[in-house]
Amino acid sequence: MTDTTARVRELNLYRQYFGLVAAGTKTIEVRVKYPHLADLAVGDTIRFRIKGSDETCEVRVIRVTEYADFEALLDGEGAANVNPTATRDEQLANIRAIYPPQKEAFGALAIEIALLQP
């Protein structure tokens, strides 16, 4: 028997990206394919929190797509969907500043999200 119950995940998000998600303008979240995200599924809820604060917003997972690396992810998803305020090259540099090469080697996840209204 398979458990198909949607789950709520809590993930931290930098303030600059949190604002874009909370405004509904950031529709693709980028994460390393860590083992704890391997079972992230369509229908799950992600509660994003600004680390060290009580500010949260919730999104529904619409789609999860795996990529070999961040370059392939940005090319496949479109940089404007990941961060509409930065160029592709700026985004690649920013993502790699958060996730060093040894983490990128796990693979990249593009998580399509839709903002849930409070």
- 91-112 pLDDT, tens per residue? 999 999 999 999 999 999 999 9
In the 8-state DSSP scheme, what is residue 45? E
Assign 10 to helix, strand or coil: strand
Predicted pLDDT at 1: 46
pTM for the predicted model, two decimal places: 0.91
* Single-letter code of the amino acid located at 93: A
Predicted pLDDT at 3: 54
CA 36 to chain centre: 14
Domains of the chain, start order: 8-115 (2.30.130.30)
pLDDT in tens, 48-87: 999 889 999 999 999 999 999 999 999 999 999 999 999 9
pLDDT in tens, 24-51: 999 999 999 999 999 999 999 999 999 8
Assign 107 to helix, strand or coil: coil
Q: Can you read off the two tokens belonging to residue 88? A: 């592709």
CA 46 to chain centre: 9
Q: How confident is the model at residue 4 (pLDDT cuts 50, 70, 90)?
A: low
